[in-house]
Amino acid sequence: MSDHSAVKAVLRTQHIETPSWAFGNSGTRFKVFAQEGIPRDAYEKIADAAVVHRYTGVAPSVAVHIPWDTVDDYADLAKHAENLGVKIGAVNPNVFQDDDYRLGSICNPDPAVRRKALEHLLDCVDIMDATGSRDLSIWLADGLNYPGQDSLADRQARLEEALAAVYERLGENQRMLLEYKFFEPAFYATDVPDWGTSYAHCVELGDKAQVLVDTGHHAPGTNIEFIVAFLLRKNRLGGFHFNSRFYADDDLMVGAADPYQLFRIMVEIVLGGGLDAASGVAFMLDQCHNIEPKIPALIRSVLNVQEATAKALLVDSEALRAAQRAGDVLGANGILVDAFSTDVRPLLAELREEMGLDPDPIAAYRRSGYAEQIVAERVGGTAAGWGA
């Protein structure tokens, strides 16, 4: 697409969901560095998410994680979000932080533990009914640390049984997204380790089950855009957890470690119709800002996705197809590299002005004094965190 107004028209409709947990304190097993002004509850996390949307214009929803975002009245929480101009997005169950889940949750050899985990997944669908959320975003830490510890096959049977029960409970316009991860916290085998396992379970379950691609969950060297192209073709790409990494599941700002990979992923999204609302692809961030200030880091992350998307939209797809059909290897590759090498920041600044926003969201946020305001206001109480 070379027509900038057409590119801007698409970018205007972009929707990048922020994760509530990225506003809380986070870290590694070595240290969680507490920061000032950290939200103490889901209401304050949503207030911070609304600030990211206020300055970017394309982050109108925030995913919640249960029990990290447990409240008495989820309908009231949804109202609070609405009053701030955002909406509650995906609901993430947590079946990885309870002592009972030492040997797994829905794959656990103990039927009582499996029932407990299933109950929590079903409770999260009840929460979706209250918040009006479409997606139940399931990630399971379930796996093994040593060969022989449990039956790999039996665990898959338990997984199938529980996912089918959750699928049964989903409402008309609700979906379940099944996230995979090749290791951690399990260090020998993970029960949903890769896209193929997630895909196979989703196909077995039905149309409302889709694969969630977390960009930090692949073995080094994995061609993620291939997975994206494959799943899009099969209408099984439910969405992304965007972040970036140099080594493992580092959960760094998306695009920070490998902007060219993010661009290649967005090229497959654009060429495969993944930006069309009908595609139902959810673009979500899943990050931890262990040492940097959270809100500007999330604003920067949203801008990184916007920039990669703008460059992908600038790919001359007709010329690309012609070069591909002609077997013009360098020509075809060159078309992508040209788009990637394009400085799209002036186009995005223009778009923001047309959307009534400051062309430089991070500078505008810094000038707003919000960072100082929350440090002054949020005294006392317990700062949110993973509480692992």
Residue 300 partner contact from ligand LRH, Mn ion, none using kind-dependent CB cut-offs of 5 to 8 Å: none
Min dist. Cβ of residue 136 to ligand LRH (A)? 12
For residues 92 and 131, which CB has a smaller minimum distance to ligand LRH in the complex? 92
Residue 242 as a binder of ligand LRH (CB under 6 A): the answer is no
Residue 48 partner contact from Mn ion, ligand LRH, none using kind-dependent CB cut-offs of 5 to 8 Å: none
Tally of helices (H runs) and strands (E runs) in the chain: 14, 10
Min dist. Cβ of residue 139 to Mn ion (A)? 6
Min dist. Cβ of residue 202 to ligand LRH (A)? 16
Instruction: Return the bridge partners of 209, or none.
Output: 176
Contact residues: Mn ion, CB under 5 A = 214, 241, 286
Residue 53 partner contact from ligand LRH, Mn ion, none using kind-dependent CB cut-offs of 5 to 8 Å: none
Q: Using CB under 6 A, pick the residue from 18, 20, 92, 131 that binds ligand LRH.
A: 92
Residue 225 as a binder of ligand LRH (CB under 6 A): the answer is no
Residue 36 has, within 13 A of its CA and on its CB side, a CA count of 9
Residue 294 as a binder of ligand LRH (CB under 6 A): the answer is no
User: If you write DSSP's letter for every residue of 236-292 in order, what string do you get?
Assistant: -EEEEEE-B-SSSS--BPTTTS-HHHHHHHHHHHHHTTTTSGGG--EEEE----SSS
Residue 181 partner contact from Mn ion, ligand LRH, none using kind-dependent CB cut-offs of 5 to 8 Å: ligand LRH
The count of other CB atoms within 10 Å of the CB of residue 388 is 10
Contact 298, 285 (CB under 8 A): yes
Backbone angles phi, psi at 254, to 5 degrees: -55, 135
Min dist. Cβ of residue 11 to ligand LRH (A)? 26
For residues 181 and 300, which CB has a smaller minimum distance to ligand LRH in the complex? 181
Residue 139 as a binder of ligand LRH (CB under 6 A): the answer is yes
Q: Which of residues 19-38 bind ligand LRH (CB under 6 A)?
A: 21
Query: Interior CA angle at 278 toward 275 and 282, to 5°?
Result: 55
Contact 52, 84 (CB under 8 A): no
